Amino acid sequence: MAVQPIRLFGDPVLRKPAIEVVDFDKELRKLVADLTDTMLEAPGAGLAAPQIGVSLRVFTWYVDGEVGHLVNPDLSLSEETQDGSEGCLSLPDLTFDCRRALSVVAKGFDMHGEPVTIEGSELLARAIQHETDHLDGILFIDRLDEAARKAAMKEIRQSEWFGLEKPKVKISPHATNGFGF
């Protein structure tokens, strides 16, 4: 078990575009294991490497009882959209309605370097889009309309964790009702 501290909003690593994985080595397999352990401990439905301070294009998910991971994702999004509640382990205790594509086809690699294609809809599609955004330095609050984003920023500024000298949590203080990614 190698649960890592989760970086919170305000940590610059969350705003930095992550780089492509080139070496499918033991280090990468450890990263996937750490992401999985940290995500399950939180608990969350997904976790991207920048959220534990590693700027590489890797994420994990835990949706409908299935754990998965993807390296160097490349997404095709459906035109049909879904509206639903979304939260983020890097923004504890906040959930907002966020519009996403209803389904995705995600091409990439597993931790052994084998090409994989993941097809997902609804919650899995939401998780994959949310995590891929993390790899581009995008947070879900960026995708809200202006009024909702202002409300989110107000809640963030009022939250206990915001502005702490070391904005990290070992375990998300609130489970965000299973919608934290």
Q: Which amino acid is it at 71?
A: V
* Cβ neighbours for 113, distance < 8 A, ≥ 6 positions apart: 24
141 binds Zn ion (CB under 5 A): no
Question: How many whole angstroms separate alpha carbon 93 and alpha carbon 159?
Answer: 9
181 binds Zn ion (CB under 5 A): yes
Position among 14, 18, 88, 98 found at the interface with Zn ion (CB under 5 A): 88
Nearer to Zn ion, 62 or 181 (CB): 181
Nearer to Zn ion, 86 or 109 (CB): 86
Of 98, 96, 100, which is closest to residue 151 (Cα–Cα)? Answer: 96
Question: How many whole angstroms separate alpha carbon 94 and alpha carbon 35?
Answer: 21
On whether the CB atoms of residues 157 and 95 are closer than 8 A, the answer is: no
Nearest distance in Å: CB 15, Zn ion = 13
Q: How many residues bind Zn ion (CB under 5 A)?
A: 2
Nearer to Zn ion, 70 or 88 (CB): 88
Of 57, 67, 72, 81, which is closest to residue 137 (Cα–Cα)? Answer: 57
Catalytic choice (27, 66, 131, 146): 131
Active-site residue, 66 included: no
9 binds Zn ion (CB under 5 A): no
Nearest distance in Å: CB 117, Zn ion = 23
- Mapped onto helix, strand or coil, the DSSP state of residue 133 is helix
Nearer to Zn ion, 109 or 181 (CB): 181
Residues that bind Zn ion (CB under 5 A): 88, 181
Instruction: Tell me the catalytic residues.
Output: 131
